[in-house]
Structure 1
Amino acid sequence: MSSSFAVVALGALVQSGLGLAAKVPSTAQVVDWKSFNVLENVLPPAEANDSTTFLWPGVTEKSLLEKPFHIYDDEFLDVIGSDPSLTLIATSESDPIFHEAVVWHSPKDEVFFVQNAGAPAAGTGLNKSSIIQKISLKEAEAVRKGKLDEVTVTVVPSNPQVINPNGGTNYKGNIVFAGEGQGDDITSAL
């Protein structure tokens, strides 16, 4: 890369509000979200709605998929690191795993999450609550490197049971999950 091009590229990053000190990985791209906060033209709902993909000026679906890690804030580089990848680490025939409420437990380097509630294939909803599960990040990295086929997905029992968990966070050394409840008889709870 010529030095003049490097200066132009750096200038573009600084101008976009992202003072990226680290090098952007090859699978990532910087997104200047301020450039499309106000669009010159907005398509009518018949052409742009919940069934269409929002593509702001200057990008294509292909360009976004080719570099799937989109950096809206330079602190995201700390999250994705220097070599991010998209890797399928586990599958399930019936349970809709990896839905939401993702919480990293740093002492054991595990990630907790919940499956989807209400999916007909899993039988969740009014008759069965979704569940809390966890994986080891060490196993996830082994899958990423091709040393393991899938991670072990472990069901985490909760007492009292969290009914249809759908949110979670670290709080004072513990993990707190929010439950959406179940029908008219079981209210939402933490």
Structure 2
Amino acid sequence: MSVDHLLQTIPPLMVYLIAGLVVGIESLGVPLPGEIVLVSAALLSSRQELAVSPLWIGVAAATGAVVGDSIGYALGRRYGASLFGWAARRFPKHFGPAHVTAAERVFARWGMWAVFFGRFIALLRILAGPLAGALRMPYPRFLIANALGGIVWAGGTTAAVYYLGVAAEKWLSRFSWIGLAVGLGAGLAVGWVVKRRTARLVERYAEEQ
């Protein structure tokens, strides 16, 4: 069975559920590859024969982001610093003291904007909900920033990947798979740069601490 035939056996509803669940669990505070899953689902929606709707991909991911962040907020508000102590033992690469300190300083400086733009940054995407709750940010303010950030991130990412996928499919039908390899390489390079900048931010705050 070819890859195309295998993809056609996947029910669209399953794609929506997986995208929403993974993004929601990541937003709750569990380090999962939510962005990778969203991009993969959006790429599937760009294949017309698969009947996967980019609109529902965006809706599922945005819903998962808002609900997951809200649950994370409730957990952070209820358990506070003890939650981060437990998370640091389970996920030291994501919830170490330096990571939490860096996120706290960003929140202290930017407030609601940290929640909104945190959706686009790997470190803050995981910490935003629990940290906002632990720092006692008023929930109405958190919800506004959380909902807007989730909608813009999920909708924008889905739309961008969908249209790039459609354009790439047309382009590749005329040329070769080399273009796809170049595009994937560029995407990986951008991801690496963002990861390095986040790591340097954490290291700088750790040195200051």
**TM > 0.5:** no
Higher strand share: 1
Larger Rg belongs to = 1
TM-score by length of 1: 0.22
TM-score by length of 2: 0.21
Higher helix share: 2
